[in-house]
Amino acid sequence: MSNNTQNERLNIALVTALDPLDRRSWSGIDYFVTRALQKHCGDVTCIGPMDASREMLGGRLLHSGAKFLCKKSFAFRYTATVSKRYAQIAAEKLLSRPFDVVVAVTGATELAFLQTPLPKVLIEDANFALLHDYYPQFSSLLKSSARQLDLLQAKGIANADLVLYPSLWAAQGAINHYVADERKVRIIPFGANLEDIPPRDVVLARKKHICCKLLFVGVDWMRKGGSLALETLVALERLGIPAELTICGCVPPKNSEHPHMKVIPFLDKNDPQQRQQLARLYLESDFFLLPTRSECFGVVFCEASAYGLPSIATRTGGVPEVVKEGVNGFTLPADARGDAYAQVIAKLYLDTPLYNQFVQASRERFETELNWDAWGLATRKALTEVLQGMNKEKVPFGVF
């Protein structure tokens, strides 16, 4: 490569066990990362999805036995055997053509044992140290499984020349627990996973409804705080504010019913008509409500901001870095109940000038930070530094 890497399109090998062309992979982040890299950084060749199902067989059996005998889990997708298989597949495919850089998306396991002279980039929204006993799928693990996960995470970070996180919360986890070199850690917020960005004038023309319309989007009723969203609906009505709650992406338990709660079990973003239906939900709502119990970042908050929709969420994980207090919404403590969420919503809803201010600020936050073009441009800068060897200098750890 020439010294003028800033103006060159790179040959990028995108390594992931998932299908990066599936809009549902990693909540769509795989797909939009791929698009942003292609638009702003270079020509992307997808090395994935990668099949290690045979290497997972023993782990699956161990997982089933552990569940039955001691109510524990074994994370069979994250083992040294699986990781080495991914490394073998990737190494073989890297020989197919010349590449400038390897990018592993949510791929510490894919990257841990990969040996290549090419610069390696790891993109994640968190790491195992933060997820352990925080996310349900990384809780109640067998000790042997937790050790393997921790080892693979450490090896993946150590093997990377550049590590990109969307939040300071995630970056500090890598630095504090895995002793990641601060010079190779960068914070670049993710964007909204939207095919069609709503026009600015349409968004800013939104008016709140006579009935306060709340939108909840999430595939996991429990983890995303569905019961608290329902509590909020009831509390708003107690305050004398007519309200409606739309649940999209999951089905509440049978005892979680309300005459003013509408449920849309699933919308497939791979289907253009269903994507349009989701867009209408954002446009026709007044607030985005997600009292999530655990969240690494929350791309849905970027999407809400694109529609000028103020977000009301929980102060957990990386959420406070997406939902800026008093700008594009508010975050509440983890122990807050529905009445506290209702009070915050009621204050905004009953003050029309204040509500309109939040609509405008939410959209502006999307336009300046929470979009994939901003991510792609910042990532291009970071990749250029790696290729020029600048990462070996004392570049300060921080946000691009």
Nearest CA to 155 out of 131, 133, 118, 127 is that of: 127
The tens digit of pLDDT for each residue in 2-33 reads 344 456 899 999 999 988 888 777 778 999 99
- 217 and 100 in a common domain: no
Residue (of 40, 302, 308) closest to 193 by Cα position:
302
**Helix, strand and coil percent figures for the chain, each rounded to 5:** 45, 15, 40
pTM value is 0.92
On whether both 132 and 259 belong to a single domain, the answer is: no
Strands 42-47 and 398-399: unpaired
H helix runs in 160-248, sequence order: 168-178, 200-204, 226-238
Residue 48, domain CATH: 3.40.50.2000
Cα 98 from Cα 258, distance rounded (Å): 58
Residue 162: strand pairing partners = 121
Which positions ≥6 away from 199 have C-beta within 8 Å? Answer: none
The answer, yes or no, to whether residue 47 has pLDDT greater than 50, is yes
The whole-number average pLDDT for the span 84-93 is 96
Residues 185 and 106 in one domain: yes
> Does pLDDT of 337 surpass 70?
yes
117 and 70, same structural domain? yes
Within 10 Å of residue 323's Cβ, how many Cβ atoms?
A: 28
Q: Measuring CA to CA, how many Å separate 350 from each of 241, 314, 356? A: 9, 22, 11
Count other C-beta atoms under 10 Å from residue 181's C-beta.
Answer: 17
Parent domain of 362? 200-368
Specify whether 279 is located in the same domain as 338: yes
- Same domain (yes/no): 332, 394: no
Does 151 share its domain with 20? yes
Q: Return the beta strands (E) in the chain as ranges.
A: 10-15, 42-47, 101-105, 120-123, 162-165, 185-187, 212-217, 243-248, 261-264, 287-290, 311-314, 329-332, 398-399
Buried b (16+ CB within 10 A) or exposed e, 358-369: bbebbbbbbbeb
- Please give the pLDDT value at position 7: 62
Same domain membership, residue 183 and residue 250: no
The answer on 380 and 250 residing in a single domain is no
What is the structure's pLDDT at 172?
A: 97
- Asked whether residue 396 carries a pLDDT value surpassing 60, the answer given is no
352-388 pLDDT per residue, tens: 999 999 999 999 999 999 999 999 999 999 999 988 8
Same domain flag for 361 and 377: no
Q: Are residues 130 and 36 in the same domain?
A: yes
Instruction: Spell out the residues 6+ positions from residue 102 whose beta carbon is closer than 8 angstroms to its own.
Output: 12, 13, 15, 90, 94, 111, 114, 116, 118, 119, 120, 121
Q: Quote the number of domains for the chain.
A: 2
Q: What's the pLDDT score for residue 95?
A: 92
Coil, helix or strand for 238? helix
Residues 218 and 169 in one domain: no
Q: Is 203 left (phi over 0), alpha (psi -120 to 50) or beta?
A: alpha
The answer to whether the CB of 12 falls within 8 A of the CB of 100 is: yes
